Amino acid sequence: MNLTQEEWASKLQNDTDATILDVRTDEEWEEGFIPGAIHVDIYQGQGFIDQINELDKNKSYYVYCKAGGRSQQACHIMNELGFDKTFNLTGGISQWEGDVETPE
């Protein structure tokens, strides 16, 4: 499900079973990420699928990338793998107005 920045942030804040998923590259991750995010690079192909399959399918996943395209693709892949609650951040982190952290 595609959500606007406001919808995504609001739904995330009220979801006690939420996991934030960053599907960008390592280089993009180094530039900064949404606090609490798990990093799984969608460009890892089968490695991405293997890592996703290790996640709890009953949780909600709030997925983002740089502009929203890769995260939309990730949500589609996750839905095919049996994840029912995936939420794509339309516009990605490039339009994110919330907090951003950088790796230590």
Q: Quick check: is 75 catalytic?
A: no
For residue 67, the SS3 value is: coil
**pLDDT for residue 101 is more than 90:** yes
Counting residues of the chain whose pLDDT is more than 90, the rounded percentage is: 98
Contacts of 17 (CB under 8 A, 6+ apart): 58, 59, 60
Query: What's this model's pTM, rounded to 2 decimal places?
Result: 0.96
Q: Give the active site residue among 12, 52, 65, 78.
A: 65
**pLDDT for residue 103 is more than 90:** no
Q: Per the structure block, which two tokens stand in for 35? A: 């606090």
Rounded to the nearest 5 percent, the helix, strand and coil shares of the chain are 40, 20, 40
pLDDT at position 55 is 97
Give the strand pairing for 86-89 and 38-39: unpaired
Q: What is the pLDDT of residues 6-40, one digit of tens each?
A: 999 999 999 999 999 999 999 999 999 999 999 99
* Angle of CA points 86, 79, 26, to nearest 5°: 65
Q: Per the structure block, which two tokens stand in for 13? A: 């804040």
